Structure 1
Amino acid sequence: MSLDHQERTKSEAVLAHPLLYEATTSDVLVDFNGQDDPYRSINWPFRKKAITTILYGLTTCWITFASAIYSAGMLPIAHEFGVSKEVSTLGISLLVFGLGLGPLLWAPLSEIYGRKTVTILPYFIAGIFSFGTATAKDIQTLMITRFFSGFFGSSSVAITGGAMADIWRPEHRGVAIVVYSVTLVGGPCLGPIIGGAFVSNSSLGWRWTEYLTGILMVVQSVLDFLILDESYAPALLVRKARRLRLEGKNWALHAKHEEWDVSISEMSQKYLIRPFQILNTPIGLFMSIYGSFVYGCFPIEFQEKRGWGHVTGGLPFVALLVGIFAAALANVYNNRYYFRKLRENDGKPVPEARLPPMMVGGVAFTGDLFIFACQSLTPRYDLLCHTD
């Protein structure tokens, strides 16, 4: 008998058990105590849901804020490290690249370990990397730390949507997403204004834009750790089953989620391949193109062509912020229309009922770009800028 055969036989003997192939009975599966179980996150009190939404929104706000506040310091960074402005611009590109790459890891991890831990821990690490950017002694260190700030900070971007679906029912989810979207887009609007104020102050400079970002992210991580509760239902049931096993000494009790044998191929199909499949659909492709076009049209010309200072050059972002609030109010009002369509459809989601505000905004946006382009060629009215 060969040595390999002996080892295999010994291993099979060790793993053998009389009940090995006995199916699990339903009476040892831990579940919620009905649809109205207060332990279910969707049954949380409104106050708790609102606080959770705001905290997740602020968590995402500071990482998008980090992507924009850097822009105010690009010229000082280029001068300090002796590189071109184009090279210093990589600090934004690499962070945004990290923001796009990170969700491929954090999204699947959140479905295994829950929302809270997978959001807070990477986000805290992102804040530490922001301090690394602030203390960078060379351009290489700055670029590396910016990338990892985006990569780890993207945990909030990847997970917040799922957290909102955990706690809000379809008829209320639209308003919650609007609140979250305001904080998400508000970060890039506030970043250049605050960054310009820091850069124009000789006692602060560009490094303090990164110190501020790190402070905000670390403080937000601590607040999230202290206040946020886990909202992912399967993770809640795993915790409940563990507590019941310890209290009752019945070690057969377990949650359905614990039976899941995580497969790399399954996760790859869901999080690596499916996004590209969605991109192949007309609605996915055109929405992505539309979104990239919107974010590529920020009024960056005010300092270069009109000679505005660091602070005043960032003020046009206030107009963008006003437009965001106006759009948010329109979407909140449209939620009444969506709720009516939802009831008419027997409670089943009606995605197209959310389109009217975007249809109006899309037409207004193109007109706004046309007027703005004309003003860029012959700048007469400085107050005219994006408000859509």
Structure 2
Amino acid sequence: MEMVRPQDIHFMKVALTLAERGLGQVAPNPAVGCVIVREEDGSPRVVGRGWTQPGGRPHAETEALRRAGPLARGATAYVSLEPCAHQGKTGPCATALIEAGIARVVGTITDPNPEVAGRGFAMLQAKGIEVTENVCAADAYYLNEGFFLTMSERRPLVTLKIASSLDGRTATHDGHSQWITGEAARKRGHLLRATHDAILVGSATAIVDDPELTCRLPGLEGRSPVRIVADGRLRLPLTSKLVRDAKKVPVWVLTLPGGDEHRRAAFEECGVTLIDVEPGDGGLMNMRAAMEILAKHGLTRVLVEGGARLGASLLREHLVDRIEWFRAAKVIGGDGYPAIAALGVKKLGDAPGFVLRETASVGGDTVASFVRGG
């Protein structure tokens, strides 16, 4: 394996930035970026850029090679995930890099897909192409953690988004909640929606708030993800906004098997997809099973936006991988509604643990990003 060169980290970060463009658009595929660089008069020059296109095809390498054309011969390709080595809807990206005459490939991390799993790098090396691995590997894993989790745990990445007061309350004692955070925080929340494959809420949130759960940022309206409601008893009104426009933006309802057949038929007639989830302890919906089902439906990144009981059930099952906590600079008090319902934690060591990744000011509010602790 070749040594890392001074410019490798810079160009790999460019490839990772390109890869981010695919988040929320490419499931069940990973979001990959590729930059093709050649030396001209002793200076590196980017001659091709690409990222995974909506729907997962074309792949990043194919896009970058197309833009580079004949300038790809003898150049270096920076790829944010190991090039695929299997025949799918398109040919292997490793083969495309070989045929284009790429002289060196810089990669991040091995693709966990059993059909690849090191074969892409091996194919390149077998043809005499220099391969440098593990450049920005941690960043690459973070970017595509949802894809990795579907391979290792058969479930998508789960991001819990919370908007609360400083003392962790989402509404006053009489239920008033709009708006705790300001417009800038809400815009950032919409950007989160655009980078996930689905938004999940509990039935109480869907009934009380009657949300649209779409991305309404200018220019990103077409990136609204699948809207999902965890509604074991099918309590969601047929007149709700979600049901009324289910034929425009997909709506899935996770529910317990059985139930009134006429009501199920009414939901389906409105365009809602019903997904049966077997009950777990206490007859409630088994959320781990639900996440595994969502992965089988091709989802890799799920954003949970409420409510308190749904968040608690996911935390109890250790299914929350990230938390995006938006906090307004105000205090509501103990008689307000908590962001997370009771977890039944008896010892601090049993509480779900997270690590702070970054904080930022968003207008007059703050957002803290956490990742699951070890």
Fold equivalence (TM over 0.5): no
Normalized per residue, the structure richer in helix is 1
TM-score by length of 1: 0.21
Q: Which has the larger radius of gyration?
A: 1
Structure number with higher strand proportion = 2
Tell which has more relative contact order, 1 or 2 (C-alpha 8 A, sep 6+): 1
